[in-house]
Chain A
Amino acid sequence: MIDVKEPLIPKIGVVTDIRIDTPDVKTFRVVTPDGKKAFEHKPGQCAMLSVPGVGEAMFSITSSPTNEEYMEFSIKKCGCVTEWLHSMEVGQQITIRGPYGRPFPVDTEFVGKDMLFIAGGIGLAPLRSVINYCRHYRDRYGKIDIVYGSRSMQDLVDYKEIIDEWANDAGVTVHLTIDREQPEWTGHVGFVPNYVKELGFSPDKIAILCGPPIMIKFTLAGLTELGFEKTQVYTTLELRMKCGIGKCGRCNVGAKYVCKDGPVFRLDELDELPDEY
């Protein structure tokens, strides 16, 4: 045996809780067999989860680093690994390695700023970590606005936490929207990009966007109209990944590897990359 650490060799993780969020999203709580967090991370970082024999896949760590007990992953069912994960029961072991990627600059560029979070669908997963981090260190940040939209009411991930906790915090305003009318829904109806424009945020804050490419594209246009500069806007990229450490050659956009130079990018950094994502 070789006595050095190998980044590709994972640790064992135990699933201790499974929450059904939407028809195709579940949130899994993961700890090591001795009940600890597998490793420390920063908001925006990811981890490789795997089911031996099925495969490995990359997921945002959706829990905040300030949670000292466990990590959480919100996972959308869409293929082999994710389907298997969805079929798990509590107590199942999986493997976990990480943390991967460059986090959001929560302790530098974000400090003292008003924050605007904009998410669509499963895009809330990476943002939830930052939101809860900012809520934990509340006095380090200014006002917090959260715009979150999904196809329907049932597709809003973390709905309970949003309504029961986030919306009740001082200085935090939550703006929810769904794509189409629903009888039991009394909130806003419409797509995220339009809602952001309607809400007419003043461009004196940091904006963080996460969601499907089409939502990102139109929301960015809206933010520019509102007067946001590229250096105030952050988003995350998602490309196919195998190693997570900049070696397998799979996730590059131009000379940048999303797994290590991203997944978090500031808009002016993104502008320097070739259009291939």
Chain B
Amino acid sequence: MRKISIDKLNSLFSAIAENETLYLPVDTKAGAKFEKWHDGAVLSDALNTVRSAKDFFFPQTENLMDFKVDGKNIEIIDTREECEDFVIFGVRACDVKSFEILDRVFLAEPVDSYYKNRREHGVIMSLACTKPHETCFCGTFGIDASSPEGDIVCHMTGDALCMDAKTEKGKALLSRLDSLTEETDGKAVEEQKKVTKERLAKLPLASLSADSFGAGKTEKFFGAPEWKELSQACLGCGTCTFVCPTCQCYDIKDFNTGHGVKRFRCWDSCMYSDFTKMSAGQPRLTQLERFRQRFMHKLVYYPTNNGGLFSCVGCGRCLSKCPIQMNIVKVMKKLGGKEND
């Protein structure tokens, strides 16, 4: 494990940015946000960014390919380019876990080459949490906020930033920074983990359990009468899906530029009424079905297809952003039976 004094952070970032584009959370009017580092940029103190980190690998819109149309003829233009190496500093444990959840979709055969390209070139410097919020419930899904995964796991221990490389990519980057950093035994990190774990255990949602959900539970929950009450006030605005680090639904749309056609992929939301609309009919007629789809996917369908792994990381974004204060915690409490009373 290596460390660097907090007052030398700028030189650390600058050394990284010499070779790779570096992104880190900074404060903006709209809250904390990942931005490209520039000399003097200040790392945000916020616990997490308003938007999740999924944009780095699965951007809100991206150009998939272009077409040239000439009379009856079409030319397909492959616009994909090898992505440059980049580093994301300050990704929290929940968001790091979300990458694994997205990987299982996009890297499953047939592999999504757009996603894979970015994923291969991104180095994740995660940052352990020290002061989790009351909306955090990553622990429900077995995520330890005091000890995230990532290529390089970082801990802010009072006066120093401690860095532990976990992967080949991480080791390569950290060894490049050797002249700036010094070896540390990691005692301060262990001490800090202990304190954070105590804080995590005292969070209001610390006892929230997902045990009654999971693989193969479709029949148990699909027909539950509680969906009616839970979905009643849902506006179908899709905010919860857009802020969610694990929501991955997308649409494909063409745009005629006048000189040719650009095909885009953009985020979509299962909360929208036209998401599944067909000429032959609409399998999800009311907001109840759409609302149920979102939560059944996270708590039952995804785990069914992915060895029990849930598609929620307890980041709490949907808790703070939903205009009607509905969220996955309320769903789990209402449907989850005794353990969640």
Chain A residues at the B interface, C-beta cutoff of 8 Å: 1-2, 4-12, 52-56, 78-79, 89, 91-95, 212-213, 238-240, 242-243, 245-255, 274, 276-277
Contacts and interface: CB of A to CB of B under 8 A. Distances in A.
B252 A248 contact: yes
Contacts of B277: 240
Given A1-B81, A6-B113, A239-B278, A53 B67 contact: yes
Nearest to A248: B250
Dominant secondary structure of chain B at its interface with chain A? mixed
Given A5-B113, A247-B112, A53 B105 contact: no
B69 interface: yes
A93 B72 contact: yes
Contact of B80 (A1, A95, A240, A248): A1
Given A239-B278, A239-B283, A240-B277, A248 B254 contact: no
Contacts of B254: 52-55
A54 B261 CA distance: 9
Given A213-B281, A240-B277, A254-B301, A8 B250 contact: no
A170 B38 CA distance: 78
Contacts of A91: 72
A52 B68 CA distance: 9
A35 B168 CA distance: 47
B74 to A, nearest CB: 4
Contacts of A95: 67, 74, 76
A5 B113 CA distance: 7
B324 interface: no
Interface string B96-136: 00000000011010111110110000000000000000000
Nearest to A253: B283
A54 B263 CA distance: 10
A100 to B, nearest CB: 10
B300 A255 contact: yes
A213 B280 contact: yes
Top 3 nearest A-B pairs (CB, nearest first) are A249-B249, A52-B67, A255-B304
A253 B69 CA distance: 37
Contacts of A248: 249-252, 268
Contact of A2 (B80, B252, B281): B80
A276 B248 contact: no
Interface residues on B, range: 35 or more
A52 B69 CA distance: 8
Interface in B293-328: 293, 296-297, 300-301, 304-305
Contact of B301 (A4, A6, A240, A255): A255
A276 B117 contact: no
B82 interface: yes
B261 A52 contact: yes
Interface string B70-96: 001110101011100000000000000
B116 to A, nearest CB: 8
A253 B304 CA distance: 13
Dominant secondary structure of chain A at its interface with chain B? loop
Nearest to B66: A52
Nearest to B65: A9
Nearest to A261: B305
B80 A6 contact: yes
A8 B74 contact: no
Contact of A239 (B78, B219, B276, B300): B276
Contact of A12 (B76, B218, B270): B76
A247 B279 contact: no
Q: Most chain-A Cβ atoms within 10 A of its Cβ — which of B110, B116, B305? A: B110
A39 to B, nearest CB: 13
Nearest to A6: B113
Contacts of A11: 76
Nearest to B252: A242
Contacts of B256: 53
Interface in B254-297: 254, 256, 261, 263, 265, 268, 270, 275-281, 283-284, 289, 293, 296-297
Given A6-B113, A10-B76, A213-B280, A250 B275 contact: yes
Nearest to B79: A1
Given A4-B113, A52-B74, A254 B222 contact: yes
B64 interface: yes
A246 B104 CA distance: 11
Contacts of A92: 72
